[in-house]
Amino acid sequence: MFDKPILQIKNLSKQYGKGCLHCQNDGAQLERNFCPVCKTVYACKDISFDLHRGEILGIVGESGSGKSTLMKSLYFDEEVTSGEGYLIDYHEGKENIFSQSGQQLRWIRNTLLGMVYQNPMLGLKMDFSSISNIAEKQIAAGNRNVDNMVSRSYELLDKVNIPVDRSKEPPKNFSGGMQQRVQIAKALSSNPPILLLDEVTTGLDLSVQAAVLDLIKTIQREMQISMIVVSHDLAVIRMLADRTVVMLNGQIIEEGLTDQILEDPNHPYTQQLVYSLL
């Protein structure tokens, strides 16, 4: 834990809209994250955090607090408005990832990051076979050997507990829980050091939720992969995260060891969250 962080994010901001004289003023009155004058949404404001090797960082916050926007920014689906990011595995953490070319971003995404989207439709090609979905990341990373990709995909299907004989079925035939498993297998397929998980268990039955959470813990233990786990559900965060940041209206309002935050929340909003869990 005393190593240099594997990922460092500094002052990341993402806004939807151009802003106006009203909202660009420091201390301007916003309605939550939203400018009442020009309708600009300040989805993420000045987000800074570190992710350490092998740790699971939790991000918790209510709906609309900017969690998915943050994850999409980290995966380069959304272009950040401002901010810096450093990956220890990219030029030894000396180059700001957010100022790289599209080609570089693709390379980083294909080799250093895995993403599981809140909405499986964003992460999977529903009409392609599941095995192709898993192999897609390997293809994108430059693999041109079919047999090699197939055996790697079988390995991953096995890891996420999907029977290999269903590998040729498209994800649209699968239940929500299985779709998330396919997404996890795909995210892992290029063996990235960092996995981003956005509300992986939301919308699943409780028993299915528990199984997916177990799977994530097992993967983390076996593969020593670093993870950022986003959830609006503190119970999920409690189960998975070593450290946690709490987001509200696009900002981080509290951060610390998960146990500490659960035992002794500082911010009134966090207190409210924690008490509602008890």
Cα–Cα nearest to 195, from 226, 223, 221, 220: 226
Residue type, 31: E
Residue range at the interface with ligand ATP (CB under 6 A); choices 21-29, 67-75, 97-105, 203-211: 67-75
By the rule CB under 6 A, 65 interacts with ligand ATP: yes
Q: What x/- string results for residues 117 through 156 when contact with Mg ion is judged by CB under 5 A?
A: -x--------------------------------------
Give bridge partners of residue 193 from the DSSP assignment: none
Phi, psi of 162 (to 5 degrees): -110, 125
Instruction: Choose, by CB under 8 A, the member of 40, 132, 231, 270 that binds other proteins.
Output: 132
| Using rule CB under 6 A, residue 12 touches ligand ATP | no
Helices of type H across the chain: 21-24, 67-74, 102-112, 120-123, 130-140, 146-159, 176-188, 206-223, 234-240, 258-263, 268-277
Q: How far is residue 230's CA from residue 219's CA, in Å, rounded to a whole number?
A: 17
Please identify, using beta-carbon distances, which residue of 8 and 129 lies nearer to other proteins: 129
| Pairing of β 226-231 and β 56-61 | parallel
Please, which residue, 16 or 128, has the CB nearer to Zn ion?
16
Contacts of 205 (CB under 8 A, 6+ apart): 177
Q: Which is nearer to Mg ion, 100 or 202 (CB)?
A: 202
Q: Quick count: other Cβ atoms within 10 Å of Cβ 90?
A: 19
The partner in contact with residue 23, picked from other proteins, ligand ATP, Zn ion, none with C-beta cut-offs of 5 to 8 angstroms by kind, is Zn ion
263 binds, among Zn ion, Mg ion, other proteins, none (CB under 5 to 8 A by kind): none
131 binds, among Zn ion, other proteins, ligand ATP, none (CB under 5 to 8 A by kind): other proteins
- Judged by CB under 8 A, the chain residues 77 through 106 that form the site for other proteins are 102-103, 106
Neighbouring-strand partners of residue 179? none
Least gap, CB of 33 to ligand ATP (angstroms): 5
| 232 contact, one of Zn ion, ligand ATP, Mg ion, none, CB 5-8 Å limit per kind | ligand ATP
Q: What is the DSSP string of 72-110?
A: HHHTTSS--SEEEEEETTSGGGTS-GGGS-HHHHHHHHH
Q: Considering the rule CB under 6 A, would residue 31 count as an interface residue with ligand ATP?
A: no
Interacting residues with Zn ion (CB under 5 A): 20, 22-23, 35, 37-38, 40
Give all strands of the β-sheet with 194-198 in edge-to-edge order. 113-116, 194-198, 226-231, 56-61, 243-248, 251-257
Instruction: Kindly list the residues in this chain that would bind other proteins in the complex (CB under 8 A).
Output: 102-103, 106, 125, 128-129, 131-132, 135-136, 139-140, 144-150, 168
